[in-house]
Every structure is written in structure tokens, then in C-alpha cells.
Amino acid sequence: MLSDQYKQAYKKILEAKNILLVIHARPDGDALSSIGVMMELLIKLNKPFFAYCLDKPPAQYKFLPHIEKISAEKTFSFKNFDLVIPLDCGSMGRTNLAKEISNRNQGQFIIEFDHHPRVDDYADIEIRIADASSTAEILYNFLKANKIKINKNFATGILTGILTDTGNFLYPSTTDRTIRIASKMQLLGANFPQILESTWRNKSLSAMKFWGKAMENLHINKKYNFAFSILSYEDIKNSNSSDEELEGIAGFLSNLYGVKGLVLLREEKPGLIKGSLRTSHPKIDISKLGQALGGGGHAKASGFVVKGSIKQSKTGWEIF
Ligand SMILES: [Mn+2]
């Protein structure tokens, strides 16, 4: 039972002496909110912890509680932790601690909080709800199950994670529960307009023009009733757009009516193509296509990376 897992996880946290928190590389709003919620809890409990992420948080998230405590440097000794908590990581590889986790000592315990479909089975307590909107939503359940009072910092983190991972309630992962929790978070002090200002109404002119480029290059393959758009390395190089902005474009393009799904292909570095897959079709699990191409993700939002270059030709686009 999940509620038992929440209680066991909390018991382990209360017993732990030194805790390592980790989120995925190139962190998004949900990952940063989730680690912020966990830091708020550990600070309240007076627990020593280290918060680690391979990459620095994007500047737009500086409003999140405790975000300045996240370190992108591995300045810790892994063996000194008796509890490791990966949040929103998807797979062990995305923690950048796969080696350490695989070779961990007996007595080093792992509690995983995640809403991605399972890739690796490595946690001692695995709290995974693949149809939750966000890891932040799962943390709400966790706080609730353990009767922890939700203050403004918790509420801000939980609402930010929900908003950023659902594209502000647009994606099919938004359920009645998600909206109910979001509404509670606002009542408990989360500032919805301020979160939107920081996470959504923050597009630069060059970013907007870049979105225009993605829309201009949007096509529908009639045979499969599948939409695609392309951003070449040249486009990306000139745009200065962050990974999250690019994901946002894929989310926006998925508003296209009447298609089964959509792929946004972009050459991020010369010779490396990233694909973002989206569908809002109730019967399609697009993560299967993502997995077939060596990637992963969710049923409605998935992605992959392949080697190759994109060039525009007279007849369309060529990938080689
Ligand atoms: Mn997430």
C-alpha cells in the first residue's frame, strides 16, 4: 500500500543522520520544486543534508524556497550518507550518481520519489506513481500521509511543480486531484500569479521568434496523421534557448488539432538530434515510440536522442 510506503519513508528520514538529495541533470520546475519541498522538510526536522544536481538551476526559478542550497559540485563523499533520496529522476543515470548508488554500502538506504515510468529498480523504498502529474504532487501525498503541516514554502514548491509539469494544467496528466491540490496550495500561501510570472511570462523576444520558427516549420505527415517540426542547429545556435523553453515549444505545438501526435526534432549540437514526442490522443502511449528510439518518458510526453544532422533541402528536410 502506498500510504504505508509514505509512512515508512518518513520513518527512515526521521532515523537518518545525513541525507543526500538528488534531482535529474538539466533540472526542470518539478525537479527543483521537489528538492525544495524536501529541503524545507529536512530543515524543519534539523537534519543535515546535501542537495545535488549535475547542472545549475535556471535563473527563473530563483523564487523557489532553498534553491540557492542546491550544489552542482560533487563536493561530498557519498559513503558519508546513510540515506539517499532521488526525486523526479526517471532513471538512475539521470542522477549522475549511478556508479555510487550501484556500489553503495550496506546500510545506505534509498528512497525514490518519481512519476516517470520505471526504468531501473534500485530503490529500497520506491514511491512511484506514473500517472501523477508531477513529483511535487506525490510529495503532497507524502506530507499529507504523515500529517506534516503545509506551510507557504511547501505550498509554493508543490504548486510550482504541478504548474510546470502540466504546462499550467494543459497536459492530459492533469486530473481532478491535481487541480484540487493546486487550489489547496494557493489557499495555503502559494502565489499563483507570481509563479506564472517567473515560470511562464518570462519569454524574451528572441525566444518568441524562435517559437515562431518552430511553428513555421510545422507540418503534418498525412499518411500517419502525425505532425512534426524541425529546428536546425543553425536555429538553435542563434536563439540561446534553454532546454526547458524547447520542451515548452513541443508542449505548445501539441495544441494542434486533429493529429495523433507530434514530434519536435532539433539538432542541439552538431551531429546530435533530440526529439520531443507529444500526444493528447487518449489511446496513444507515445512513450513506446520514445523507447523504440532509445529514449523514455511518459505516455503523453516522451523523448529521445539520436545521432545525426538535419539539413534543409529543396524538397523538405533531410536527416543524415
Ligand atoms: Mn516531473
Residues 6+ apart with CB under 8 A from 76: 20, 50, 52
How many angstroms is it from 190 CA to the middle of ligand 1? 19
Fold of 2-199: inorganic pyrophosphatase (n-terminal core) (3.90.1640)
Q: Average pLDDT for consecutive 10-residue bins of the chain (320 residues)?
A: 93 98 95 98 98 95 97 96 97 94 96 93 96 97 98 98 94 94 98 95 86 94 96 86 77 91 94 94 92 89 93 84
**Measured between alpha carbons, how far is residue 96 from residues 24, 48, 102 in Å?**
8, 21, 12
Res 2: pLDDT: 86
How many angstroms is it from 158 CA to the middle of ligand 1? 11
Residue type, 98: A
Q: Supply the angle between the helices 135-145 and 29-44 in degrees, to the nearest 10.
A: 20
How many angstroms is it from 162 CA to the middle of ligand 1? 8
Q: What is the DSSP letter of 117?
A: P
Res 25: pLDDT: 92
Res 246: pLDDT: 75
Helix (H) / strand (E) element for 121: namely: none
Distance spanning both ends of the chain, measured CA to CA: 49
Domain 205-319 - what CATH class? alpha beta
Q: In sequence order, what E strands does 24-160 have?
A: 49-52, 70-71, 83-87, 109-114, 125-128
How many angstroms is it from 91 CA to the middle of ligand 1? 12
How many angstroms is it from 315 CA to the middle of ligand 1? 38
How many angstroms is it from 224 CA to the middle of ligand 1? 29
For the chain, the structural domain boundaries read 2-199, 205-319
Alpha-carbon distance of 7 to 190, in angstroms, equals 25
